[in-house]
Every structure is written in structure tokens, then in C-alpha cells.
Amino acid sequence: MKRRRWALCALLALLLGCLPGRETASPAANPVELPAESRFVALTFDDGPRRDTTARLLDGLRERGASATFFLVGQQIAGNEDLLRRMRDEGHQVGNHSWSHADLKSESDGGFQQEIGRTDALLRETLGEGDYWLRPPYGFLTAHQRQLLTVPAVKWSVDPEDWKLRNTEKDVAAVLQGVQPGDIILMHDTIPATVDAALRIVDALQAEGYTFVTVEELLALSGVEAQPGVFYCSVAAVEG
């Protein structure tokens, strides 16, 4: 974990051209070579936390030094605060997936603000102040609701439909067949088969030189400045 963090920081510094002592440490004629692990990808997990499956996923991600992003349903947080603190302490990004997994596009302004606001308040209370990015359930927001947002919104570019397949082999195949650097992968940490699939996906892609980062890190590493109310599907695809 620490080693991967350090590598990520070093790479960021390289990209920004400010690695300390760099000009004296290497001959000027040598071009800067990015390490093989400059293929970044973001795993995202919706609908948790769920005590057994989320804890097992966190264990597996920690063993592999992989970071992920968790979009949480507010009403499932009570009693799972320790899992949220683990997410934060182990380098993951935590985001908002509404209070009750409501289809937000059919909510009134008041209902929308409550669905987002209650979860945001509980995240702040549990983890401290911060920007808790939004993934709306089903990926839907109206144009008007997007304008009300004070944080970036996140969709996805790879969807194995793990909630429908509920089959580890098929989940793994569905992700590996189309994944590319810069992708945001959508999965659900509430499903036991998904936990196994996600860890196998990490193993397979790490062997190909991929590094698993949070959505926020993925965008920052690509020079994308995330804006409130904009939907990010991958580093290359933006809506709104």
C-alpha cells in the first residue's frame, strides 16, 4: 500500500516536472520514461456498505495495494461506520449514492436535496469535512438537478452488469474484454460474487501493468479538473 502510494506520488511529481533532485540524479540526455504502471483505471462500488461483503473486499484491496471508490447509500451507514473509516484510512474515495437509493430524476427539488443532503451530512459527521462526490442511482439526474450540485458527478465507462449476472467468471470476462486505461468500472460491493470478481480483475490487470486509483486520482493524473455538476464517465468522456 505505502509503496504504491509512493510510486503514485513520484509519478505525479514526474508529470508535474518537480521531482526533487531529478536534474542532478539523471543524465540530461535521458528522456523521462513513465513507469509501466502509468496505465490507470478506477474501480467503483455502489450500494454499500454491507458488513460481510464490503469488509471482505476491503481486505482484498488492501492485500493488493489497490485503491477504489465507494458510493454509499446513506441509510446503510449506521452500524458500519468502522468500514467507512477503513475506506478513508486505506486510501479509498468515499462518495454519495443518495439516502435511500431513490431515482432522483423523479424527485422534487426538496426531495432531491434531502436524498443528497442527508447522506452528505452523515459522511461529514463520520469522516470529516470534504467533497463527497455523487453517483446518482441508475446514473440519472435532470439537467436542473445537475445545476444544483456542488460536487462532481460520476458515471462509468465499463458496466459488467454484475447485479444481473451474479457470477464471478462472467463478471471477470465482461470487464477484461473491454477495459482500457482511464476507464471507470461500475460494480456493487453488496454482491458476494462481485467481491471475488473484483479481486480477480485487480490481479489480472495489475499483471498487465495497471494501477488501481480512485476516481479523483484518475482524473487528476490525466490533468482533468473535476467540476461540480459535470458527469465523468472516464478520463476521455464527460457529459454536461
What track of x and - describes contact with Ni ion for positions 194 through 213 (by CB under 5 A)?
Answer: --------------------
Least Å from the CB of residue 69 to Ni ion: 13
Amino acid at 64: R
65 versus 74: smaller Cβ distance to Ni ion? 74
Q: Which of 46, 47, 171, 189 is catalytic?
A: 46
Q: What are the C-alpha distances in Å from 151 to residues 79, 107, 140?
A: 26, 19, 15
Q: What are the C-alpha distances in Å from 147 to residues 13, 70, 126, 220?
A: 34, 23, 27, 22
What track of x and - describes contact with Ni ion for positions 26 through 65 (by CB under 5 A)?
Answer: --------------------xx------------------
| Whole-angstrom Cα Rg for the chain | 18
Least Å from the CB of residue 181 to Ni ion: 25
Least Å from the CB of residue 221 to Ni ion: 26
46 versus 217: smaller Cβ distance to Ni ion? 46
Strands 93-96 and 69-72: parallel
Q: Which of 97, 188, 189, 196 is catalytic?
A: 188
Can you point out the beta strands (E) in 66-205? 69-72, 93-96, 153-154, 184-188
Least Å from the CB of residue 70 to Ni ion: 12
Which segment (48-56, 132-140, 141-149, 197-205) binds Ni ion by CB under 5 A? 132-140
Residues that bind Ni ion (rule: CB under 5 A) add up to a total of: 3
* Known active-site residue 188: yes
What cell was used for 41?
Answer: 483505471
Q: Which of 149, 179, 122, 112 is nearest to 239 (CA)?
A: 149
What cell was used for 50?
Answer: 454491507
Least Å from the CB of residue 139 to Ni ion: 9
Burial of 228 (0-12, 13-18, 19+ CB in 10 A): middle
What cell was used for 235?
Answer: 478520463
69 versus 211: smaller Cβ distance to Ni ion? 69
Residue labelled with grid coordinates 468500514: 83
What track of x and - describes contact with Ni ion for positions 85 through 124 (by CB under 5 A)?
Answer: ----------------------------------------
Q: Which residues bind Ni ion (CB under 5 A)?
A: 46-47, 137
